[in-house]
């Protein structure tokens, strides 16, 4: 399907066993809701710096923001981290170099690259990270409990399909009616564990974008298998 679509897409994948990685495409894309992982990573860094854990309210917002993709919770935590400026400070520490936060409260219009999303995943799932072990475990746990109906995308590359931790993003642009569809996460197969980021724009429907993301994720992981 990736060969037949008019949508624009990019993918980055890392084989965690060998360290080998590859990136296809260097464009920038709207994050839609995948930025919620970045927002929570920024919040966890802020809490670490203050020597504290997350408050009950922060935990409640983090849970529904990641597991259910709740937008009100994302807006609340976007403010907590200092919006785009705070995200930029966190991303400098996380190693993201091609991500720019959305204006005002438009966190879903943050712009990013597949390579940057792979760096974010490495910070969440790898040991060499500014995020402490407890912070990584917490974020991984939320990404492993995505609500039914939102667990598409990179899951298509996992064997079994349930062995994943992910976050997806979807956004229909009002100016064109076309869809941004993104999927990032960790997937396991019988051979290895992979970090995968698929970004796309210009999809004619949400379903077409989801199918593209799954096709691309399978192809990317398959190239390492």
61-84 tens-digit pLDDT: 999 999 999 999 999 999 999 999
Tokens of 29: 């894309």
pLDDT one-digit tens code per residue, 172-184:
999 999 999 999 9
Report the C-alpha gap between 50 and 68 in whole angstroms: 28
C-alpha span between 55 and 74 (Å, rounded): 15
- Can you give the pLDDT at residue 2? 54
How does pLDDT run across 88-142, given as a tens digit for each residue? Answer: 999 999 999 999 999 999 999 999 999 999 999 999 999 999 999 999 999 999 9
| Nearest to 201, CA basis, from 223, 169, 166, 167 | 169
**What CATH code would you report for 8-224?**
3.40.710.10
With CA atoms as reference, report the closest residue to 173 among 25, 13, 7, 58.
7
Q: What's this model's pTM, rounded to 2 decimal places?
A: 0.96
Show me where the domains of the chain are located: 8-224
Phi (first) and psi of residue 169, to 5 degrees: -140, 140
- Bridge-based pairing state of the strands 111-112 and 164-172: unpaired
Which residues does residue 170 pair with via DSSP β-bridges, in sequence order? 181
Chain segment 183-207, per-residue pLDDT in tens: 999 999 999 999 999 999 999 999 9
In sequence order, the 6+-apart residues with CB closer than 8 A to the CB of 170 are: 32, 33, 179, 180, 181, 182, 206, 209, 210
Report yes or no: 85 and 2 within 8 Å, Cβ to Cβ. no
């Amino acid at each position: 399907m990736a060969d037949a679509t008019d949508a624009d897409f990019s993918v980055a994948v890392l084989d965690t066993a060998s360290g080998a990685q590859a990136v296809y495409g260097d464009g920038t894309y709207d994050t839609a809701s995948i930025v919620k992982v970045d927002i929570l990573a920024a919040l966890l860094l802020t809490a670490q710096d203050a020597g504290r854990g997350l408050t009950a309210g922060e935990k409640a917002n983090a849970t529904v923001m990641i597991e259910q993709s709740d937008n009100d919770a994302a807006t609340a935590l976007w403010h907590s981290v200092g919006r785009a400026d705070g995200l930029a400070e966190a991303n400098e520490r996380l190693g993201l170099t091609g991500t720019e936060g959305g204006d005002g409260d438009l966190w879903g219009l943050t712009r990013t690259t597949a390579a940057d999303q792979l760096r974010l995943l490495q910070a969440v799932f790898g040991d060499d990270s500014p995020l402490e072990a407890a912070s990584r475990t917490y974020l991984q746990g939320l990404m492993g409990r995505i609500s039914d109906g939102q667990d598409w995308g990179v899951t298509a590359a996992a064997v079994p399909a349930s062995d994943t931790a992910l976050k997806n993003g979807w956004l229909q642009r009002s100016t064109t009616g076309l869809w941004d569809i993104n999927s990032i996460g960790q997937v396991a197969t019988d051979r290895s564990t992979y970090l995968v980021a698929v970004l796309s724009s210009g999809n004619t429907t949400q379903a077409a974008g989801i199918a593209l993301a799954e096709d691309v994720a399978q192809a990317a992981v398959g190239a390492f298998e």
